[in-house]
Amino acid sequence: DVVLTQSPLSLPVTLGQPASISCRSSQSLVYSDGITYLTWFQQRPGQSPRRLIYKVSNRDSGVPDRFSGSGSGTDFTLKISRVEAEDVGVYYCMQGTRWPLTFGQGTRLEIK
Amino acid sequence: EVQLLESGGGLVQPGGSLRLSCVASGFTFSNYAMGWVRQAPGKGLEWVSDISGSGGNTFYADSVRGRFTISRDNSKNTLYLQMNSLRVEDTAVYYCAKEGGSGSYGHLDYWGQGTLVTVSS
């Protein structure tokens, strides 16, 4: 199975400051069609997961532009340019390139 | 507006069975694959199963293969998860999620609110 390793697992951030989460894969996530199926989700306290970013860098509708995704191959990053209070929660990366679908362990973002 | 509404969770003894349902609205259900993802209390997300738009292709995590069965009724816009031989470690909130297309997987662009399954004696 593809193992996704996120770091850090806990991320205290001051309001208005940037934040960055890494997701490293045990295998290349480039599919045979040339597309990389790496997705980022946000799970706010007490809520269902919400997709933020798909195919590495595409923002979902309604997602603020302070969120951005980047990376290639086995190394990916989610960045928040200026953290706001509503960004508190757990962030997960997920790969959809190979069965079974797998998630990273999650990164808990909190306000310092 | 896409909406997914799960039901059927509850308390069941080890070795028992439960069937979860997920009613979908706001999109043409038969045109999209669907999936189930679970989250044990205080833990991360774990993919459980996916099914194609027609229902002809199914996929399972090793942890549930042979015990769980995913199915769908496109006439009722409903996704199911039949869970047999339940174990304590199956205790989790179970989410249904919409995929990107009939035979397109690993997208999970919309999620339901989840239904809690507790396996305990």
pLDDT, tens digit (0-9, with 9 covering 90-100), for B8-19:
999 999 999 999
SS (H, E, C) A9-61: CEEEECCCCCEEEEEEECCCCECCCCCECEEEEEECCCCCCEEEEECCCEECC
Kindly give, in sequence order, each residue whose CB lies less than 8 Å from that of residue A27, ignoring residues fewer than 6 positions away.
A2, A74, A98
Model confidence at B83, pLDDT cuts 50, 70, 90, reads very high
Q: Do B111 and A48 make contact, defined as CB atoms within 8 angstroms?
A: yes
Rounded Cα–Cα distance for residues A105 and A2 (Å): 13
| Mean pLDDT of all residues belonging to chain A | 97
Q: Which residue of A has its CA nearest to B109?
A: A51
Q: Which of B34, B43, B48, B107 to mutate to test the interface with A (most CBs of A within 10 A)?
A: B107
| pLDDT confidence of residue B101 | 81
pLDDT surpasses 80 at B103: no
Q: Do B45 and A95 make contact, defined as CB atoms within 8 angstroms?
A: no
| pLDDT confidence of residue A13 | 98
pLDDT surpasses 90 at B24: yes
Average pLDDT for B2-29: 98
Q: pLDDT digits over A29-75, tens only? A: 999 999 999 999 999 999 999 999 999 999 999 999 999 999 999 99
Q: Do B61 and A105 make contact, defined as CB atoms within 8 angstroms?
A: no
Q: Which of B6, B58, B108, B113 to mutate to test the interface with A (most CBs of A within 10 A)?
A: B108
| pLDDT confidence of residue B74 | 98
Largest alpha-carbon pair distance within chain B? 41
pLDDT surpasses 90 at B100: no
Q: Are strands A58-59 and A50-54 parallel, antiparallel or unpaired?
A: antiparallel
Rounded Cα–Cα distance for residues A47 and A32 (Å): 34
- Residue among B44, B105, B113 minimizing CB distance to A92: B44
How close A80 gets to chain B, by Cα (Å)? 20
What does DSSP assign to residue B16? -
How close A82 gets to chain B, by Cα (Å)? 24
Average pLDDT for A79-99: 97
